[in-house]
Amino acid sequence: MDRTILEQQIDRFVQNEMTPDEREQFVLSMRNDKELKEQVAIRYLLLEGTLINNEEKARMALINIVHTNNRKRIRWIAAACIILLLGMGGWFGNQPMHSPQELYLIYHSIPAIERARGGNELTEKNAVTNVQLTEWYEQGKYKDIADWYNRNRQENTIDALPDYTSLFIAVALLEQENAGDATTILLQIKSTDYREETEWLLLCCYLKTNQREEAEELANKIQTEKGIFANAAGRIKTDLKKKRWF
């Protein structure tokens, strides 16, 4: 696609100027295009910086109102503030600017999961299973892992596996569009050895399943903990709170 046309589409997406069908198609395009996701994220950051700058200008103009009794000047300054805000695209409405699912496509990433942590003593049978699941994960065979999970979900095998293998299974399910079961597995991981990875994947699941309140709460927790995902969680929290321009 021509770069100019692509940039125009990104602008229209960020400014909420697309029709519902266009927006849905654009979101689908981001799923398998990492570069497009990065460009959209950068454009959001630029827009946020511009908004902050213009909000400061509007605030200073309103302060001037307090120091004058000239009604004509008051009307002029108020009109100028309105024009300034409208020039940015409109007023903030009551509708969210982004759905959690849209933010999932922008921010979702698979964390590095070290096998050196969270090990359990395994029976011979479970050890063989663990090796197989680990090999599939390292080879990116998420469908094989998801199929194994669906065959064995009623057994106790999953509970007997190491925490890192549970994370492997959760990642595979999330990548196979099964965020519901991935969430169930992540909520059962009690070990603090993988707390940051677990919370990040759980946040991705909440975004994927459009659970806004849960995502906001967890994003705030991750940001407060100041771990490796704090910056990304902070941006997600900010984007979840943004309102749509009209």
Residues 145 and 224 in one domain: yes
Q: Flag whether 115 is in a domain.
A: no
Find the CATH number of the domain harbouring 173.
1.25.40.10
Domains held by the chain: number: 2
Provide the CB-side half-sphere exposure for 214 (13 A, CA).
Answer: 15
**Is residue 113 in a domain?**
no
* pLDDT (tens digit per residue) in 91-144: 444 578 888 998 998 899 999 998 876 566 788 888 999 999 999 999 999 999
77 with 128, same domain: the answer is: no
Range 55-71 average pLDDT? 52
Range of the domain at 188: 124-245
Stretch (H or E) spanning 57: helix 34-66
- Asked, for residue 142, whether it belongs to a domain, the answer is yes
Provide the 8-state DSSP code for 193.
G
Domain assignment present for residue 117? The answer is: no
At 5-30, the pLDDT tens digits run: 888 888 888 777 788 778 878 888 88
Question: Quick one: 139 and 75 in the same domain?
Answer: no
52-61, 117-126, 197-206, 237-246: segment of lowest average pLDDT: 52-61
- Asked whether 164 and 114 are in contact (CB, 8 A), the reply is yes
Cα distance between residue 243 and residue 16, in whole Å:
11
Question: Cα–Cα distances in Å, from 235 out to 94, 126, 204?
Answer: 20, 40, 13
Domain boundary pick from 73, 90, 107? 90
Single out the residue of 14, 76, 19, 64 nearest to residue 39, CA to CA.
14
Q: What is the pLDDT of residues 217-237, one digit of tens each?
A: 999 999 999 999 999 999 999
Inside any domain, residue 53: yes
